[in-house]
A and B are shown apart, each in its own frame.
Chain A
Amino acid sequence: MARYGMVIDTRKCVGCMDCVVACQTENSVPQGYCRDWITTEVRGEFPSLTMEIRSERCNHCDNPPCVSCCPTGASHVEPDGRFVHVTASRCIGCKACIASCPYGARFVHPDGYVDKCTFCAHRVRQGQDPACVSVCPTRCMYFGDLDDPQSKVSELLRTRRWHVLLPDAGTKPRVYYLS
């Protein structure tokens, strides 16, 4: 069984937000909401500054706090690909998963259930990349099986320096940022 992950090269990303718009279109994300977004991090003192631009989303963690806190099992891990998903018809909207997510990846859909990035499982299961990855004009995003040593994502994580978001939270996120 695959264990999908995403690798994003922050040295190539220009923050154009194409990934954000592609996601909103592909997944009919309601207006005023977003499942992925751009974070810009500036460090240093002028004029010695360094900037990292990241396309952020649900990290589909290996140890997801949003899944363990869910009282109905609506928040769950899909056995194929280890996607962290929400079953809308079982979600009561208690919002515990939103409070438990250190990344702010979840929100309440206007229809009354919790929504977030699905890693475009519906596309991945048909052999396609997630919408955000497929439209990136700088080709800075990579998607693949982390358990497959031959995959592009595994190769990048072997050969490049990378970091994940808030590793101390112990969530074991699966979106990696090359730096």
Chain B
Amino acid sequence: MLEITTTRHNPLIDPQLHVWGWEIPLYLFVGGVVAGMMVIAGLAMLRTAKGEDTARFFSVQTPLLAFVLLNVGMLALLLDLAHPLYVWAVYLTFEPASPMSWGSWVLLLVYAILLVSALVRLHEAWPWLGRTLPAVERWSDAITRSPARLALLGWMNVVFGVAVGIYTGILLNTMVARPLWNTSVLPVLFLVSGVSAGAAAMHLASRFFGRRPAPQGLVAGFLSALAQPLGPQPPEKSTVDTLIRADVALLALELVLLALLVLGMLTSTASHAAAAALVLGGPYTLAFWGAIVVAGILVPILLQSLELSRRIPHTVLPALLVLAGGYVLRWVMVNAGQASEIVQAAAR
């Protein structure tokens, strides 16, 4: 028997670490969605630069939606800070050993890349912008009419999209004190889950808003531009099918990564095995298997496969489930990860 008692009683630390509440899971989820949308939009830009007509696919509203989501995520990150007014201190230094320092600087670059990507051709969907700021129209044309510039923007979206997706996992993965996070599978899992959720978010937005005629003016024009992530016109069926097909493949990959994560934990040290027990009979079992694996991956794979083979009509249900599953994945990992700790050996 090993019985440990302590007189320590610090808030947020005892009896169990819980320094991160809803803000960090939300930020990690939104960061993943933004990463996914950047990768998908970047790939579409590269195809456009090669001369393919993907205008109806990528348009510029994907980066715009991603840009708005990025702001939501960064707001959540700010709200999590114990001293949000000091947030600028992050940008007075670069700490090469700190994943959060890397992430803060990458976020700054991503902010600029998404802003430029969103402004390119935005004036087409939001005429008010082109009328008020003719310069935006000139810069946009300078980029869209040069395949080399568009390809560069596309590559930046892909590279920094992958960087953000991986960063959301490395942030947790580098902490030796939390065995559930301390696995190299985590950054890849978060990246794949993020791209899958990004595809789902684009799919969802296209289903909700894609078929409305675009309103004009300042506010209505902006909102309608935001609400048409697949382009000013309704997306083609083949475009939506491509998104769904990619989503099914990514979900299957996510399933493999989740299995590797649990298997790796179970076969590692006693601390890692104890961390795996949190989702294998522990308090996070139902959320992990029910919400993430069944409702967030298996059911969407089934529904989307049936949709692709035209056995059932298209609905937004799979996209909603994928997004909900993506959030629950971050929620479980952040909370169960805080509950996991290095365990001490007992004689028996």
Give the distance in Å from the alpha carbon of A70 to the alpha carbon of B14 in the complex. Answer: 22
A69-B174, A90-B86, A107-B11 known; A95+B341 contact, CB < 8 A: no
Task: Select A69's contact among B83, B99, B341, beta carbons within 8 Å.
Answer: B99
- Docked Cα-Cα span, A98 to B269, in Å, equals 23
Q: 27 A-B pairs, CB-CB below 8 angstroms? A: A33-B11, A39-B7, A69-B97, A69-B98, A69-B99, A69-B174, A71-B100, A73-B93, A90-B92, A92-B83, A92-B86, A93-B83, A93-B84, A94-B100, A96-B98, A96-B100, A98-B13, A99-B17, A100-B176, A100-B178, A107-B11, A108-B12, A112-B82, A112-B83, A166-B344, A168-B269, A170-B176
Chain A residues close to B by CB (< 8 Å): 17, 20, 32-34, 37-45, 56, 65, 67-74, 89-96, 98-102, 104, 106-108, 112-114, 166, 168-171
Complex partner residue of A72 from B19, B89, B341, CB under 8 angstroms: B89
Residue in chain A with minimal CB distance to B269 = A168
CB atoms of B1 and A45 under 8 A apart: yes
Collect the chain A residues with CB atoms within 8 Å of residue B100's CB.
69-71, 94, 96
Determine the residue in chain B with the shortest Cβ distance to A116. Answer: B10
Closest B residue to A45 using CB positions: B1
Alpha-carbon distance A102/B338, docked complex (angstroms): 11
B:184-237 near A, CB below 8 Å: none
B interface majority secondary structure: loop
B82 touches A95 (CB 8 A): yes
Interface contact B90-A108, CB-CB below 8 Å = no
Which residues of the partner chain A approach B174 to less than 8 Å between Cβ atoms? 69, 100
Shortest beta-carbon contacts, A-B, top 4: A93-B82, A112-B83, A102-B177, A37-B8
Could you say which of A37, A69, A99 has the most chain B C-beta atoms within 10 Å of its C-beta? A99
Whether A94 pairs with B80 at a CB distance below 8 angstroms is yes
State which residues 73-100 of B face A: CB under 8 Å.
80-84, 86-87, 89-90, 92-93, 95, 97-100
Contacting residues, chain A, for B19 (C-beta < 8 A): 95, 98-99, 108
* Inter-chain contacts of B101 with A (CB < 8 A): 71-72
A110–chain B nearest beta-carbon distance, Å: 9
Given contacts A43-B1, A104-B13, A104-B14, A94 and B95 within 8 Å (CB-CB): no
Tell me which residues across on chain B come within 8 A of A89, comparing CB atoms. 86
Asked if A92 and B84 make an inter-chain contact with CB atoms under 8 angstroms apart, the answer reads yes
A93 to chain B, nearest CB (A): 2
Please indicate the chain B residues that have their CB under 8 angstroms from the CB of A40 in the complex.
4-6
Are A39 and B6 in contact, CB atoms less than 8 angstroms apart? yes
- Please indicate the chain A residues that have their CB under 8 angstroms from the CB of B2 in the complex: 41-43
A102-B342, A107-B10, A107-B11 are contacts. A90–B89 as well, Cβ < 8 Å?
Answer: yes
Please name all residues of chain B whose beta carbon is closer than 8 Å to the beta carbon of A113 when the two chains form the complex.
Answer: 82-83
Taking the complex as formed, is B347 at the interface, i.e. its CB lies under 8 A from any CB of chain A? yes
Q: Are A104 and B95 neighbours in the complex by a CB distance under 8 Å?
A: no
Q: A101 — which chain B residues lie within 8 A by C-beta?
A: 177
Q: Closest approach, in angstroms, between the C-beta of A179 and any C-beta of chain B?
A: 14
CB contact list, B88-138 vs A, under 8 A:
89-90, 92-93, 95, 97-101, 103-104
